[in-house]
């Protein structure tokens, strides 16, 4: 079993194509490619932490998308997910959905928006929300952004996450 992370898929969101200059001609192409890249990396026994802003689609469309995505899915609600309660997200196919940050392996703070962490804190923040905003780095000694624009539009494995942090600390 492997663990993966990503954020800001924005399934069905035509505005995100323009806002983030995503390399897809249509929303349908974006959705198909996000699903394909997810399933290319994630297996049935894996867990994926989705760190918010899952979709702009309706309830039945979201249920259909979630049924196509491999692995157990955990949602940390983002600002674009709050139109549904955690219970509603679970009813659509997430194993868990929470409106607050999670702690994974006692070290990683999983959140939608970046949290303040520094070198003196015993944590690293894994976050989304900022997409390709150049004001935020892809990785720092205490943080990793997993917005899909920074992960090749695919989930980032725990191994890849650790490698990014380790490479940054050795710089």
pLDDT 10s digits, 122-150: 999 999 999 999 989 899 889 999 999 99
Q: Reply yes or no on whether the pLDDT at 171 is more than 70.
A: no
Residues 92 and 6: their CA atoms lie apart, in Å, by 19
**Alpha helices, H only, the chain:** 14-19, 27-41, 59-68, 86-92, 158-169
| Tokens, residue 55 | 């979709």
Residues in the chain: 171
Give me the pLDDT at residue 132, please.
93
Q: Are 147 and 7 in contact (CB under 8 A)?
A: yes
Cβ atoms 111, 51 nearer than 8 A: yes
Question: Contact 41/17 with Cβ under 8 angstroms?
Answer: no
Per-residue pLDDT at 169 exceeds 80: no
Q: Summarize pLDDT for 38-96 with one digit per residue, the tens.
A: 999 999 999 999 999 999 999 999 999 999 999 999 999 999 999 999 999 999 999 99
Burial class (CB in 10 A: 0-12, 13-18, 19+), 161: buried
Residue 170 pLDDT > 80, yes or no? no
**Ramachandran region of residue 153, left (φ > 0), alpha (ψ -120 to 50) or beta?**
left
In whole angstroms, what is the distance from residue 150 CA to residue 156 CA?
9
């Amino acid at each position: 079993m492997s663990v993966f992370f990503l954020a800001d898929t924005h399934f069905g969101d035509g505005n995100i194509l323009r806002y983030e200059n995503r390399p897809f001609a249509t929303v349908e192409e974006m959705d198909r490619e996000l699903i394909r890249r997810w399933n290319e990396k994630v297996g049935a026994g894996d867990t994926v932490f989705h760190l918010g802003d899952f979709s702009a689609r309706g309830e039945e469309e979201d249920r259909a998308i979630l049924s196509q995505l491999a692995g157990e899915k955990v949602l940390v609600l983002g600002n674009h997910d709050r139109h549904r309660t955690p219970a509603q997200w679970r009813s659509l196919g997430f194993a868990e959905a929470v409106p607050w940050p999670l702690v994974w392996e006692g070290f990683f703070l999983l959140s939608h928006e970046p949290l303040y962490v520094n070198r003196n804190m015993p944590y690293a923040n894994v976050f989304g929300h900022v997409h390709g905003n150049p004001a935020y780095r892809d990785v720092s000694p205490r943080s990793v952004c997993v917005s899909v624009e920074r992960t090749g539009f695919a989930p980032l494995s725990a191994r890849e996450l650790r490698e990014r942090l380790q490479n940054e600390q050795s710089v």
